[in-house]
Structure 1
Amino acid sequence: MSNITLKCLIISSGQFNDLSQDNLTLRIMLLRNGAVSTLQIAIQNQLSLLYNNIPLDIYQVYYPGNVDERCIQPQALIFAYFEGDPPADLYHIVVSPIPPPSY
C-alpha cells in the first residue's frame, strides 16, 4: 500500500509549553496501512529527545474547515481515518500531550 503525508499541529500545552514555534507544525509520512501507533512514534521522532517519550492524544481534524475533532485510536489503521490523499494545505491531525496523572 502507498504512503500518506499528514500535516500535524502540536498544541503547546502542558509538557509541550516549551516547544519552539518551529516545532509546532510537522509533516509526517507513513504507510497508509500502518497502525496509528506508528504515527505517534513518527511524531515523537521529529521532536527533540526531551519530548519523544511523552504520550500523545491524537485527533483527526481538517483545519481550517472542519474542526470537529475525532479521537484516533492507537490500534486502528491509518487508512480507516484517511481515505485518499488529504488536502495538503490543511492540518489533518492535532496532537497534545496526555497530562500526567494527578494524585
Structure 2
Amino acid sequence: MVHITLNCLIIPIGGFFELPRDEVIQAIPIYTSQDVSALETAIQERLGEPFKNNSIDIRQVHPGSVPEKSMNSQAQISIFFPKQPLPRFIHVTVYPLS
C-alpha cells in the first residue's frame, strides 16, 4: 500500500464555473490501493459546498502528452499511478459532468 499525492486541476466550466481561482489546483493524498471513486470523493469533499454535489469525470494526464486518459471509478489508483508521480506536474484533470 503506497501513499501518494496527486495534483488535480479542476476545470472551471459548467458546475465548476464559479470555483474560486485559488481552488482550481488541489493536492489530494490517497493510497494506490484505493479505487478511483475514493479520489472522486476526496476531491468533492475538498471542494465543499456548493461544488461537492457535482458528478465529476477524472482523467489521467501524462507530462508531455496531450491526450488525457479517462479513469474508471471502479479501477484502483495503482492502475494509473503505481508510484508517486513527479510533484511538479498536474496528474489528473477534473471535469464536471453536469
TM-score by length of 1: 0.91
Q: How far has the Cα of 1:98 moved from its partner? A: 0.2
Q: Which runs of 5+ in 1 are unaligned?
A: none
Specify the alignment match of 1:23 in structure 2.
23
Rounded to whole Å, the distance in 1 between the matches of 2:23 and 2:66 is: 21
Rounded to whole Å, the distance in 2 between the matches of 1:8 and 1:97 is: 13
Specify the alignment match of 2:89 in structure 1.
90
TM-score by length of 2: 0.95
Deviations, residues 62-81 of structure 1 (Å, cap 9, x unaligned): 34x22320000000000001
Rounded to whole Å, the distance in 1 between the matches of 2:93 and 2:75 is: 17
CA contact (8 A) 2:3 2:30 kept: yes
Q: Which has the higher strand share?
A: 1
Report the residue type matching 1:34 in the other structure. Answer: Q
Q: Which runs of 5+ in 2 are unaligned?
A: none
Q: Secondary structure at the match of 2:60?
A: strand
Specify the alignment match of 2:2 in structure 1.
2
Deviations, residues 51-72 of structure 1 (Å, cap 9, x unaligned): 1111001000034x22320000
Rounded to whole Å, the distance in 2 between the matches of 1:37 and 1:48 is: 17
- The size of the alignment, in residue pairs, is 98
Q: How far has the Cα of 1:48 moved from its partner? A: 2.2
Specify the alignment match of 2:79 in structure 1.
80
Sequence identity, in percent? 37
Rounded to whole Å, the distance in 2 between the matches of 1:68 and 1:2 is: 26
The structure whose Rg is larger is: 1
4+ residue runs over 6 A deviation: none
Give the alignment's Cα RMSD to 1 decimal: 0.9
Rounded to whole Å, the distance in 2 between the matches of 1:12 and 1:4 is: 25
